[in-house]
Amino acid sequence: MLQRKTQTAAFWRDQFEISEEDLDFFHDQILDAETPLTTKQLAMLIIQDYQRRETSRMESELSKGRIYQPGETYEVGQTLVFPAMDFVVGEIVDKRRGQNPEHGDFDVLQVKFEENDKIREFVSRLQTPHRLNQPNGKGITEEGALLSTDEIYNLYQDEIEESILYALEEGERASEFVQVDDRWLISDQLAEIHIGHLNIAEALIEMQARPLAPNEILSEIELDGDISDSMQLVSLNHALGSDERFDKVRSGNDHFWYLRRLEPEEAHRVPALLRPHTPRYNRALLSVELLQIEWELDDEWGESGVGSDIPSVVPSTSFTLIYPHQRYGTIPLSSRTRGFFPAGSQGRSLATVIDGRWGNRYQVWVVHEGRYVSGLRKWMDDHDIPVGAQITLERASKPGEVVIDYRPRRMKREWSRFASANLAAKTITFEMNKIQISCEYDDYLVVSAEDPASLDQIQAEVEKRNIDLDQIVEMVVPELTKLSPQGSAHAKTVYSAVNMIYRCPPGPVFYSLISNRAFQDTGGGFFSLA
């Protein structure tokens, strides 16, 4: 069976490009469907169309003459079709006997091609086997052994969709096609939504002080009644998504619209101190003791943790708060906490967190790529939650809601390591001061910032100067050891202090400690100056 172009990897990977004819095809398909089509649906349709076109062309060309096969006998004046040469058509203008003992008695045909009047020679009446010899041209247009549309799509999905997206997004007719949630429609199908409609939507969201579903907004604005309800929704989503005032967020399988100016900054931009550094290190050199400490910390960017997410049957969990999260009012999405919030790997999801002390409700944003939950600044401020606090999460009875709490204890003034920024020297120093603490906490993790804004400047300087982890550890360890009568600092404390200006999981920090000859492991997780 002769191979069709649409059955080859070379065609889909190297030759396939969306043409004007293809764009006309997309235009008609979307209009006929009367509903937006996904990129995948367009890809499947264009594959089917290319297969249909190819079959139609083959059948049309084959009707113009006999199929050339080397074993057949032909006469001068006959018209031949050459499937192996993309179905070109030619007329036999001369015939002579061939001379080659290996092939026995055969003829040589001179064929003049219609498209360029060029004459080429071909063998006929060949007695020896040849791959082009098939009885009566059998198999040339048969469909049985061909790859299906689904199979072609699965094999060449990336290349096909890349070509489609380039044409629809950046081609000369890009303004003709509109994408809404990976669904394509024709711009003329959209309902007219003007600035007045968008202003009403903004006012509705602000009055409700919560994200609104598209249907809730649509019910309050009047659009063209001749356009279907589904297309009105698509039009509204497209208009809101094109206006920078509005932000689309998910809650389960649904999406809602909110106002960017009402969201915490951390909801749509990951702060520098929450963007992790993960330098390479030899993990095999970490002691069992340090690995156990790493497991206890359960850093969302670490390589340890509990191994897998806590299953949904577990009613509660707890974790300790580190400085970057306390600084921005966020909590981590670690292996222990992730299962309490909507799942995802990209974008943001909505959830509700309930204060276990006072019952206040907080709208929070689950920032999947940043691995944190934002929107808890007020809760932390209301309860004076310090770095190192033991925080608990408990499943609420309603899906999408989580109860947050801390483990209370009688308020006392406790010693804390206070970090101060030396802006002139671009370093940080530590001293001991007392702070009021009314919750259970990990003493090794407790650090405080005298002026968080100045520490932010040091953090920015660290990024600007590309200061590495080893230099930062060398900066903070002497400062921490001087605070202890024993002249030592715990690995947790070093990790906590480093993360005040350089977000990093425990593993690389611990390796930096054990690989530096300036520090000595004194046991129990403590290190001193050598």
Tell me, yes or no, whether 154 and 46 share the same domain.
yes
In a domain, 184, yes or no: no
Which amino acid is present at 453? A
Say whether pLDDT at 390 is over 90: yes
Element (H, E) at 122: strand 119-124
Tell me, yes or no, whether 405 and 508 share the same domain.
no
Q: Distance (Å, rounded) from C-alpha 100 to C-alpha 87?
A: 28
In a domain, 183, yes or no: no
Higher pLDDT: 342 or 305? It is 342
Would you give the end-to-end CA distance of the chain in angstroms?
A: 78
Say whether pLDDT at 64 is over 90: no
The pLDDT of residue 1 is 41
Cβ 439 vs Cβ 357: under 8 Å: no
Q: CA gyration radius for the chain?
A: 35
Tell me, yes or no, whether 501 and 433 share the same domain.
yes
The pLDDT of residue 490 is 98
In a domain, 473, yes or no: yes
Cβ 474 vs Cβ 516: under 8 Å: yes
Query: pLDDT band for position 310 (50/70/90)?
Result: low
Q: Distance (Å, rounded) from C-alpha 58 to C-alpha 484?
A: 86
Say whether pLDDT at 305 is over 70: no
Cβ 141 vs Cβ 55: under 8 Å: yes
Residue 311: DSSP 8-state: P
CATH classification at residue 513: 1.10.10
Provide the whole-model pTM: 0.71
Cβ 318 vs Cβ 332: under 8 Å: no
The pLDDT of residue 306 is 47
Of 81-85, 122-126, 189-193, 495-499, the poorest mean pLDDT is in 81-85
Tell me, yes or no, whether 94 and 199 share the same domain.
no
Say whether pLDDT at 309 is over 70: no
Name the strands in the sheet holding 107-113, side by side, starting at the edge strand that comes first in the sequence: 66-67, 79-82, 88-97, 107-113, 119-124
The string of pLDDT tens digits covering residues 260-273 is 999 999 998 999 99
The pLDDT of residue 474 is 97
Tell me, yes or no, whether 80 and 36 share the same domain.
no
Six token digits for residue 523: 């046991």
The pLDDT of residue 69 is 84
Tell me, yes or no, whether 405 and 426 share the same domain.
no
Of 233, 262, 291, the residue that ends a domain is: 262
CA distances from 189 to 20, 39, 217, 239 (A): 20, 18, 20, 13
Of 388, 409, 430, the residue that ends a domain is: 409
* 71-97 exposure pattern, b = at least 16 Cβ within 10 A, e = fewer: bbebeeeeebbbbeeebbbbbbeebee
Number of domains in the chain: 5
Q: What is the mean pLDDT of residues 250-265?
A: 89
The pLDDT of residue 344 is 83
Say whether pLDDT at 251 is over 90: no
Q: Distance (Å, rounded) from C-alpha 358 to C-alpha 379?
A: 10
Q: Distance (Å, rounded) from C-alpha 523 to C-alpha 528?
A: 10
CATH classification at residue 204: 1.10.10.10
Of 355, 386, 409, the residue that ends a domain is: 409
Q: Distance (Å, rounded) from C-alpha 297 to C-alpha 490?
A: 13
Where does residue 384 rank: exposed (0-12), middle (13-18), buried (19+ CB within 10 A)?
Answer: middle
CATH classification at residue 370: 2.40.330.10
The string of pLDDT tens digits covering residues 25-43 is 999 999 898 788 999 999 9
Element (H, E) at 23: helix 20-33
Query: pLDDT band for position 308 (50/70/90)?
Result: low
Six token digits for residue 264: 């915490």
Choose from 82-91, 136-145, 415-424 the range with maximum mean pLDDT: 415-424
Tell me, yes or no, whether 351 and 456 share the same domain.
no
In a domain, 90, yes or no: yes
In a domain, 182, yes or no: no
Tell me, yes or no, whether 458 and 515 share the same domain.
yes
The pLDDT of residue 311 is 64
The pLDDT of residue 117 is 82
Tell me, yes or no, whether 438 and 503 share the same domain.
yes
Q: How many CB atoms lie within 10 A of CB 495?
A: 27
In a domain, 138, yes or no: no
The pLDDT of residue 288 is 96
In a domain, 139, yes or no: no
Element (H, E) at 233: helix 229-241
Six token digits for residue 162: 């890349």
Cβ 163 vs Cβ 16: under 8 Å: yes
Q: What's the mean per-residue pLDDT of the chain?
A: 90
Six token digits for residue 434: 């007392």
Query: pLDDT band for position 145 (50/70/90)?
Result: low
CA distances from 291 to 150, 227, 309, 492 (A): 48, 62, 19, 12
Of 8-12, 115-119, 385-389, 424-428, the poorest mean pLDDT is in 115-119
Say whether pLDDT at 144 is over 70: no
Query: pLDDT band for position 151 (50/70/90)?
Result: very high
Query: pLDDT band for position 323 (50/70/90)?
Result: very high
Tell me, yes or no, whether 402 and 505 share the same domain.
no
The pLDDT of residue 307 is 52
Domain limits at 81?
Answer: 70-133
Strands 372-374 and 330-332, bridge-based pairing: antiparallel
In a domain, 465, yes or no: yes
Tell me, yes or no, whether 415 and 516 share the same domain.
yes
Q: What is the mean pLDDT of residues 429-439?
A: 94
Six token digits for residue 128: 């020896």
Say whether pLDDT at 143 is over 70: no
Element (H, E) at 249: strand 246-251
Tell me, yes or no, whether 163 and 24 share the same domain.
yes
CATH classification at residue 80: 2.30.30
The pLDDT of residue 137 is 47
